[in-house]
Structure 1
Amino acid sequence: MRLCMVLGAFIVITLINASFSAKESKYVHSAGGFPMRHKIEKNVFSKIPSRRPSKNHGSNIGNYPLTERSNKPEEKNLRPIKGISSVQTSSAAPLVLDRPVLTMKIYEPGHLNKDIDIKRICGYGGKYLKLLILITSAHSHFTARMSIRHTWMNYGSRRDVGIAFVLGRTTNATLNAALNKENYIYGDMIRGQFIDSYINLTLKTISLLEWTDTHCPRVKYILKTDDDTFINVPKLLAFIDGHKDNRTIYGHIIESAKPNRQRASKYFLPYHQYGGSVFPPFATGTAYLLTGDIVHELYVHSLRTSYIQLEDIFTGVLVQSLKIKIVHASSFYNRRIPFLPCTIRDAISIHDIKENEIYDIWRKQMDSTVKCKTVDRSN
C-alpha cells in the first residue's frame, strides 16, 4: 500500500511539471532559451520614434518639438543637438557651443510664404526695384510693426521700393494663429523655418538672404534693419543715387572691437566660435545697406561657415572672407539722436526707437514748415 501511494505521488508530480513546461514553452526563444515576451516588449518600444534633428540641414537652435498647449519644451523627451551643450529658446542667456559647427547643420532653409504678397514686395524678381527693405521683427512686436506700417513703411507703395518684415516660426498655436491673421491682412511678413528668438538672429539674417536670393535676385540694393529703427527712406534713396559701387556694404562700421569672453554677458563669444583677439570690421546690425550683387555669395558662403551667434560679427566674417568692400556712412546711426526736424532729416537710420516715438519722428520729418540747411553726409 505504501509503495502504491509513493508511485501515485510521483505520477501526480510528473504531470504537474509537464503542465508547467508546456506553458513556459510558449515564451521560450528558439535560439537561446530566453523568454520571447522580452523580445516582444523590446520591439514595441523600438517603434516609438526618437526626436531627431531634421534631415534637411539638421535642426536649428532651440528647435525642439513643443506641445500644442504650451511653448515650453517637453523636457523628458529632449535630445541634445550633436555638438551643442546648451540649447535655449530663451533670450535670457547666450548660446554655448561645444565646438565649431557649420551653419548648414543648424540652418533649415525655406519660408512660410502662404499669404505673403511677393508680387507687391518684389515683382518680376526685383527687375524694376531699386531698394528692398527687410525689417527683422519678433513675434510679439505687433505694435512696433503697426507703427512702422503707419509711418515710413508708406514708401513701400512706390514702384521702386519694396518693404517686408522678417520673422521665424513659433510652435505656440495661439501666437501662430495671430501671425497668420496679421499676414493675411497685410501680406508683408516673411517667415523662416527657424525658431524665432534673440539667440537665432544669425539664422534670421541668413533667412532674409535666402528669401532675397530666391524671390528678389535682381534688386539693386537691400537694407537690413530692425523694428526698433526709424528709416528715412528719401535720405536713403538719395544716398543710393550718389553711390554706384559694386560688392559693397554701407553702414555704421565698427573697427578693432574685441570679443567678450565673459559668459554672463549678452555678447559672450567663446573661442571656438571666434578665436581671434580682434573682430574684422563689421556693420552694426541695426541697419546696413547691401549691393544686390553680393546676396547670393553671402547666402551660399554663410552655410559653409562656422556658426557665430552674434549676427553682425558673423556677417563681418563673411564680408572679410569674400573680400567685400565695407564703407562707413555717418548718416547710419546705431543709437538715439535728438528728435529735432533737421537732425532727423539728416539721418538715414535712427536706432532704439519706441513704438510711440516713431509717430513723432515721422511728423517732424514730414513737416514742410521747417526748413533745414543741406548737409553733405555721403561719407
Structure 2
Amino acid sequence: MVLKSMVSRRAPLLSTLGISFVVLVLIYNANKDNILSASPCATQNRQHTRNTAQLISQNPFLNSTVPSEKPASASIPVSTSSRKTYAHIIQETPPNAGPEQGFALEYLDQEVQKAVETKKAAIRLLSSPIINQHNMMYLVGREQKCTNMTPEVIITVPSGWGNFEKRQKVRDGPQGKYVRAHSQNALLLFFVGLPPAGIGKNKTQKWAKLQEESEKYADVVIAYFEDKYRNILFKHLSMLQWVINFCPKAKFVLRTDDDVGVKIDSMLVSLRRHSDERQNFILGKQRVGDAPSRREERPHYYLSEEEYEPDTFPPYVLGGAIGYPVSTVKLLYEVARRTKNVWLDDVFMTGICAAALGIPTFNERSFQFTH
C-alpha cells in the first residue's frame, strides 16, 4: 500500500524506477531458494545422486557408506562454481566449523569414479585365466566340522607340524577358551603340512605323535605340501580353501599364529562393526610403505626382483592376526589363482591380491598381538 501510494503521487521517473528495482530485489530474494531448487541443474544433480547411490549399492568391492572421515576433502576445496551449482545442498561452512561439517561433493565424485574403475579392473581380473591351480589336498581334512553347525567365526591357526607345545598353548589360551564358550558358534582348526625331508631320526616318532594329536583333539588339518617356512603361502591358501569348500556359510575367518597372544572378543567386536558398514575388508596390524628385502644373507625374508619387481609393497596386514569376512576369503582365493605368487603370504594375500580388487585393509588396535 505504501509503494502504491508513492507511485500515485506522480513521483519523479527516477524514484519510480528505483522503487521498481527494490520490489524486484525483494521478490528475487524471497523466491531464490525456490528458483534454485526448481532449476534443471538441480534436477540433474538429484538424478546424479540417485545414480551414484545405485552404483555404490551394487558394487561388492566398495564400502556401502560414504566415509565419515574425509582424508582428502581438506585438500580439495569446494570451488565457487560448485557452491553455485549445489547451493541448495552445500551450506556455507562457519569460520570455526569442525571437520565433520561441510561436504565436498568433488571428493565424492572422485571416489565414485575410482570405484567404477576398480570394479571394472576386478571383473577383468576375475574373468582372466587361472595360472595357479592351488587345488590343495588334505591328508586329514576334518570336512565334517561344519556339518551340523554354521559358525560365526572360524579361527584358523597355521602351525609347524612339530609345534606340539604351541598348539596346546593355543587350545588353553584365548582362542580355545572362546571356542569352548561358544561351541555352536565358533570353530578352531590348526593347519600343518607334511614333514620335510631330512629332518633327523626322530621324524617317524614326531609323525606318529602328530597323528595321535589329530585324533585326540580332532582339530588338526594336514595338507599335502612340505611343511617349511617358504611354503607359508600354501598353508594360507589351504586355510582359505578349507573354509570355501567345507564351511562357506560361516561369517568370519580369524587367522592367528600359534605363537601370539590375542584378544578374541575384541577382534570379533571389530569384525562385526566393520561388517555393518561394508561387505569386504581386512583387519589387522597394518604395514604401509614396507620394502622387500633384497639381501640374500637374510634368507628368512629374502625376495628377489624376479619374484617381486616393485620397490615397495602395497599396504598389507601382518600375518600374526588377520580378520576377514568369508566373502573376502572367496575373492582373495580367486585372485591368488590368477596372480603371480609371492611366497610372503601376508604381503601376497592381504596386500597384492586385496589391492587388485580394491579391498581395503584397516589397522585395528584390537588386532595387535604379542609374541
Q: TM-score, normalised by structure 1?
A: 0.57
Segments of 5+ residues of structure 2 without an aligned counterpart are 1-129, 197-202
Residue in 1 that maps onto 2:34: none
Corresponding position of 2:144: 118
Q: Secondary structure at the match of 2:366?
A: coil
| Deviation string, structure 1 residues 72-103 (Cα, Å, up to 9, x no partner) | xxxxxxxxxxxxxxxxxxxxxxxxxxxxxx97
Match of 2:179 among 145, 156, 159: 156
1:318 maps onto 2:360 in alignment: no
Q: Which residue of 1 aligns with 2:42?
A: none
Amino acid at match of 2:338: R
Q: Which residue of 2 aligns with 1:181?
A: 212
Q: Given the alignment of the two structures, is residue 268 of structure 1 paired with residue 290 of structure 2, yes or no?
A: no
Cα distance in 2 for partners of 1:330, 1:241 equals 15
State the Cα distance separating 1:117 from its structure 2 match.
Answer: 7.2
Q: Could you tell me how far apart the structure 2 residues matched to 1:198 and 1:308 are?
A: 13
Evaluate the alpha carbon distance shift between residue 145 and residue 156 of structure 1 in structure 2; reply closer, same or farther with a 3 A threshold: same
Q: Which gives a bigger RCO, structure 1 or 2 (Cα 8 Å, sep 6+)?
A: 2
8 Å contact 1:108–1:193 — kept in the other structure?
A: no
Deviation at 1:277, TM superposition (A): 1.3
Residue-by-residue CA offset, 1:320-358 (whole Å, 9 max, x unaligned) = 11221211112222xxxxxxxxxxxxxxxx231xxxxxx
Q: How does 1:59-70 map to 2 (within 5 A)?
A: none
**Which whole-Å CA distance do the structure 2 matches of 1:154 and 1:268 have between them?**
37
Retained in 1: the 8 A contact 2:271–2:324? no
Tell me the distance in 1 between the aligned counterparts of 2:214 and 2:131.
28
- Cα deviation, residue 299, structure 1: 1.5
Aligned partner of 2:241 in structure 1 is: 210
Q: Deviations over 1:142-195 (max 9, x none)?
A: 011111212321221211111111111126433221111101100001111111
The one-letter code of the counterpart of 1:208 is M
Alignment of 1:150-299 (within 5 A): 150-152=172-174, 153-157=176-180, 158=182, 159-170=184-195, 172-244=203-275, 245-265=278-298, 266-299=300-333
Distance 1:130 1:253, change over 3 A: same
Q: Quick one: distance in 2 between partners of 1:203 and 1:228?
A: 19
Question: Residue 132 of structure 2 corresponds to which residue in structure 1?
Answer: 104
Q: Distance in 1 between matches of 2:262 and 2:131?
A: 30
Indicate whether 1:140 and 2:162 are aligned. yes
Q: Which has the higher helix share?
A: 2
User: Which consecutive segments of 4 or more residues in structure 1 shift more than 4 A?
Assistant: none
- Whether the 8 Å contact between 1:108 and 1:194 is mirrored in structure 2 is no
Amino acid at match of 1:155: Y
- Unaligned 5+ residue runs, structure 1? 1-101, 334-349, 353-379
SS in 1 for 2:253: strand
Residue identity opposite 1:189 in structure 2? V
CA contact (8 A) 1:117 1:188 kept: no
Q: Which amino acid aligns with 2:358?
A: K
TM-score (norm 2): 0.58
The residue that corresponds to 1:338 in the other structure is none
Q: 1:123: Cα distance to partner?
A: 3.9
RMSD: 1.9
Separation in structure 2 between the aligned mates of residue 201 and residue 164 of structure 1, nearest angstrom: 16
Amino acid at match of 2:132: M
1:202-252 per-residue CA deviation (whole Å, 9 max, x = no partner) reads 111011011111111111110111001122222222223322231110111
